[in-house]
């Protein structure tokens, strides 16, 4: 009996193993006023009035040497309402450092597949604070300052970390099924 279990276990583990990749982006690794379109499986974009859309750009503030990916394509005003992070794969364990300049009431929204809203939270008053999201299966993260009329405040993200999880291929699912069938058949014969 134990030999049959030992034979079935490798199939079960092989089929159930997922390939996780860690995303760890520190925008301090980029010079100020550097336009960034993508890094480590994340695409960055800008959207919304009053600033122009385009390439998200790192910027800093005069009293800090920290670089932030901000909601502006110039590193200064005019800003856009939204800074958008699109993930190439679904992610979990998302955390980021956020800086809100001015008194804007910025917030974030995490979306899953098919634009399903998974989580929303306030970033008001954030001053280099770390935020960790509770949701998993995130495909897009949107930072927005268009809440209650505060649409012209600059904000930025200093760092981003997340873990991607590949969805198993059909062959792996079939392998899991064969392992379970073999395990079940061996128990029946005993």
**Which pLDDT tens digits describe the chain residue by residue (190 residues)?**
555 544 545 554 554 445 789 999 999 999 888 899 999 999 999 987 766 667 888 886 654 678 899 988 887 777 888 899 999 999 999 999 998 876 667 899 999 999 999 999 998 878 889 999 999 999 999 999 865 555 667 889 999 999 997 666 665 566 567 666 665 666 665 5
CA atoms within 13 A on the CB side of 4: 12
Q: Beta-carbon neighbour count of residue 95 at 10 Å?
A: 12
Lookup: tokens for 80:
């856009």
Per DSSP, 102 falls in state T
Lookup: tokens for 59:
């910027």
pTM for this one?
Answer: 0.78
Q: What is d(CA 20, CA 8) in angstroms, rounded to the nearest whole number? A: 24
Domain 19-166 coded CATH 2.60.120: yes
Beta-carbon contacts of residue 73 (< 8 Å; ≥ 6 apart): 35, 46, 51, 52, 53, 54, 55, 56, 57, 80
Measure CA 94 to chain center. 6
Lookup: tokens for 76:
């200064």
């Amino acid at each position: 009996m134990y030999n049959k279990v030992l034979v079935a276990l490798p199939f079960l583990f092989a089929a159930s193993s997922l390939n996780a990749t860690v995303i760890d982006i520190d925008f301090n690794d980029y010079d100020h006023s550097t336009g960034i379109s993508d890094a480590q499986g994340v695409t960055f974009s800008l959207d919304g009035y009053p600033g122009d859309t385009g390439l998200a750009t790192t910027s800093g503030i005069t009293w800090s040497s920290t670089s932030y990916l901000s909601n502006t394509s110039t590193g200064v005003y005019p800003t856009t309402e939204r800074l958008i992070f699109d993930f190439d794969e679904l992610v979990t364990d998302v955390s980021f450092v956020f800086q809100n300049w001015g008194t804007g009431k910025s917030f974030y929204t995490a979306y899953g597949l098919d634009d399903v809203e998974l989580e929303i939270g306030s970033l008001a008053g954030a001053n280099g604070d770390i935020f960790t999201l509770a949701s998993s299966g995130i495909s897009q993260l949107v930072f927005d300052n268009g809440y209650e009329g505060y649409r012209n405040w600059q904000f930025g993200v200093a760092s981003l970390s997340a873990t991607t999880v590949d969805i198993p291929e059909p062959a792996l699912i079939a392998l899991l099924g064969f392992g379970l069938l073999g395990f079940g058949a061996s128990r029946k014969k005993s």
